[in-house]
A and B are shown apart, each in its own frame.
Chain A
Amino acid sequence: MSQKILLTSNEVNIILHRLACQLIENHHDFSQTVLVGIQPRGIFLAERLKKIIQQDYNIQQIALGYLDITFFRDDFRRTNKPLEANQTKIDCVVENKKVIFIDDVLYTGRSIRSALTAIQSFGRPSEIELLVLIDRRFSRHLPIQPDYYGRQVDAINNEKVKVSWKENEGEDGVFLINSNHQK
């Protein structure tokens, strides 16, 4: 298994600030906006962006929820891996709000397809946008594209893009993992 660094901790930090600015440009004071972190790994990015917007740009009232898509996935009984559910926590109203889905890596687009169905259980948002840290372009199975992305990556199918977070893994960083050597 070989591992290549795509983004260092410093580069991740710069990108996060740029994404925060792009969000502020479009969503102003966030009074009509709900950030939704997609479980399990989108929540770190969502929490981090919220923190940056609150601390560095002094916008305090930001609604943030976690959305788990396990029960909405289209590969139930079609994958050998048991599907693991995570907590959903949406304490705010999404009806008529602008929802921003936040996830770490956009790959086939199927998770986002599931999230689009799952969010409807909580109401009808006025619009939904998508923010991802890494966009694995040319890998999509569905017509889904991000509105904001940190970095576009061209990776082949047996490569995996892994995003590490300070809160979880101890250090920020994005890695390209090639599993070919495992065999």
Chain B
Amino acid sequence: MGELSVNHLLGIKYITKRDIELIFETADHFKEVINRPIKKVPSLRDITIANIFFENSTRTKLSFELAQKRLSADVISFSAAQSSVKKGETLIDTVNNILSMKVDMVVMRHANPGAAHFLSQNVKACIINAGDGAHEHPTQALLDSYTIREKLGELAGKKVVIVGDILHSRVALSNIYALQMQGAKVKVCGPKTLIPRHIESLGVSVEPNLKKALEWCDVANMLRVQNERMDVNYFPSTREYAQQYGVTKDLLDSLHKEIVIMHPGPINRGVEITSDVADSSQSVILNQVENGVAIRMAVIYLLASKIQ
């Protein structure tokens, strides 16, 4: 073991393979901790963490809060709807006001790509990016890789297809970086309108046909169609999307092998996957949620150890 090469977690792009391994090794220990009768350790009792969510979130916010509480940190959380941001305060002012109340670490979700990076250069606190627009969502990518590693042993040589709305997805970009760093092969699959141009330059290939993509892969990561980010129609109708890119039990049964189905949530049942697939033994969706707490504990613990 050792320490992370960075002082903030802004994206997978900024960390190394060794960092990912260290986070996974630490998460193994925390996964054991959260399965004890008493699921709490006192490591961070002198650390205060602010969770600032400028965009809606249920799972990520709960997961971060739980991880922080399991580590005994003091936690304050707020979402933008109730904050002074609505009154015209700038991001730096908002965060500096929070920091003057002696906060050591900030977990932030923001609609603008690069918001976390910008903050890390302008305020004196450790920053964890909990999603910045369509840019990165590093803890989600880490917990996805961790779940694959748990299920399939290791990532090197494994084939992962990311299906759905790649264009608006921060999960897709972080996952591509994380999976490639660990030696996995990545394909993306979705309607042409939802695949970013020049995505091949990241070293991933595009497969427009879902059946072919599933035949190729070991793991399928199904993304949600992010209607809230769509200013124009990217496909004719939800029904047509579900028929072309929705995974059904029949489709899975027609494959010659068993693949692992992942989903970062929230699921739109009947659109990207049907209920019987989401609840099947091939789905690791709830494992992802459990691992999310362990991964976030590991990230927070390792970054906190670097706070002076």
Contact = CB atoms under 8 A, between A and B. Distances in A.
Interface of A: 68, 70-73, 76-77, 82-88, 117-118, 120-123
B204 to A, nearest CB: 34
A121 B36 contact: yes
B1 interface: yes
Contacts of B26: 85
Given A73-B43, A82-B305, A121-B39, 12 more contacts: A71-B41, A71-B43, A71-B301, A72-B42, A76-B44, A85-B26, A88-B33, A121-B38, A121-B40, A122-B37, A122-B38, A123-B37
Contact of B2 (A77, A82, A87): A82
Nearest to A83: B305
Contacts of B42: 71-72, 117
B37 A85 contact: no
B18 to A, nearest CB: 13
Nearest to B42: A72
B41 A72 contact: yes
12 contacts: A68-B29, A70-B29, A72-B43, A76-B43, A77-B304, A82-B2, A85-B26, A88-B32, A88-B33, A121-B38, A121-B41, A122-B37
A79 to B, nearest CB: 9
Contacts of A83: 305
Contacts of A121: 33, 36-41
Nearest to A88: B32
B21 interface: no
B33 A76 contact: no
B307 interface: yes
B279 interface: no
Contacts, number: 51
A52 B33 CA distance: 31
B31 to A, nearest CB: 11
B29 A85 contact: yes
A5 B240 CA distance: 78
A120 B42 CA distance: 12
Q: Secondary structure of the B side of the interface? A: loop
Contacts of B32: 87-88
Nearest to B25: A85
B307 A77 contact: yes
With most chain B CB atoms within 10 A of its CB, the pick from A77, A88, A117, A123 is A77
Nearest to B44: A76
Contacts of A77: 46, 304-305, 307
Interface string B214-234: 000000000000000000000
Nearest to B304: A77
A84 B3 CA distance: 10
B307 A122 contact: no
B2 to A, nearest CB: 5
Contacts of A73: 43
A86 B32 CA distance: 11
A82 B18 CA distance: 15
A68 B32 CA distance: 11
A123 B38 CA distance: 8
A87 B37 contact: no
A118 B2 CA distance: 23
Contacts of B33: 71, 88, 121
A120 B38 contact: yes
Contacts of B41: 71-72, 118, 121
